[in-house]
Amino acid sequence: MGEVVVARILFLAIAALGLLAALGTVLSRNLVHAALHLVGFFFCVACLFVMLEAEFLAAVQVLIYIGAVAILLMFGIMLTRNTRGDDATSLSGPWRLPGLVAGLCLFGALVFGINNAVSPSGASPWAGEAARPSLVEREGEPAWAAERRRAVEDMGRVVGEEFLTRYAMAFELAGLLLTAALVGAVALAHRDEVGAAELPPTVEALPADSAEPVGTAAS
């Protein structure tokens, strides 16, 4: 029983930290600080994956979200004119209400979807009571135990197999979406030679006091 209590306390602590980090992301006035809070939130999610014994997912979460996505975010912030990230970042007035409505709708959809999750017919029930299967085979164990034991012990292989069988469609669609986003980003960033010549040179276009690190003032 002691292990359950410890697990519950750990879960509550991690979830509370995650909520604090999420609030910090939304409420920070400084963009770089907001991005760092987001990193903290991603890390809490990875911790929750570890608690669910999904170490593979935890490693992937750290590798992709913290190691690539958040770094690109910070990179993007630092390459803009607002280098220090300390311009005010609050949502402007007329967009507040639509933003609130959209957020609440997403929340409702997620709550509904998570509470009513169904497994495809024929597959083992992944939702519901999560019980760790015993590591050795026992007589009279339920049918899902063998499959779940395999999943815990060799998660990389199982995740890969699921991607190529049950979730092949979703996997390909996500890939298509990412490719479209990539092409769109290139199209936005790419300007042909004539257009580039007409643009004002960006360095001179900066206001004198914005985005200047302190080092210049000293020199």
Which one-letter DSSP state was computed for residue 54?
-
Q: Binders of another protein among 91-150, rule CB under 8 A? A: none
Does the protein bind another protein through residue 12 (CB under 8 A)? no
Q: Which stretch in 94-102, 109-117, 118-126, 210-218 sits in contact with another protein by CB under 8 A?
A: 210-218
Does the protein bind another protein through residue 155 (CB under 8 A)? yes
Does the protein bind another protein through residue 68 (CB under 8 A)? yes
Contact yes or no for 33/85 (Cβ under 8 A): yes
Q: What is the DSSP string of 190-213?
A: ---HHHHHHSPPHHHHS-TTTT--
Q: What is the DSSP string of 74-132?
A: HHHHHHSS-TT--S--PPPGGGHHHHHHHHHHHHHHHHHHHHT--PPTTS---SS---P
Contact yes or no for 50/63 (Cβ under 8 A): no
The single residue among 7, 12, 71, 102 that binds another protein, judged by CB under 8 A, is 71
In terms of CB distance, is 94 or 213 closer to another protein?
A: 213
Does the protein bind another protein through residue 66 (CB under 8 A)? yes
Q: Which stretch in 13-21, 72-80, 101-109, 178-186 sits in contact with another protein by CB under 8 A?
A: 72-80
Which letter, b or e, does each residue of 120-139 get, where b requires 16 or more Cβ atoms within 10 Å of its Cβ?
A: eeeeeeeeeeeeebeeeeee
Q: Binders of another protein among 20-59, rule CB under 8 A? A: 32, 36, 39, 55-56, 59
Does the protein bind another protein through residue 72 (CB under 8 A)? yes
Which residues of the chain form contacts with another protein (CB under 8 A)?
A: 32, 36, 39, 55-56, 59-60, 62-63, 66-68, 71-72, 74-75, 78-79, 83-84, 153-156, 213-216
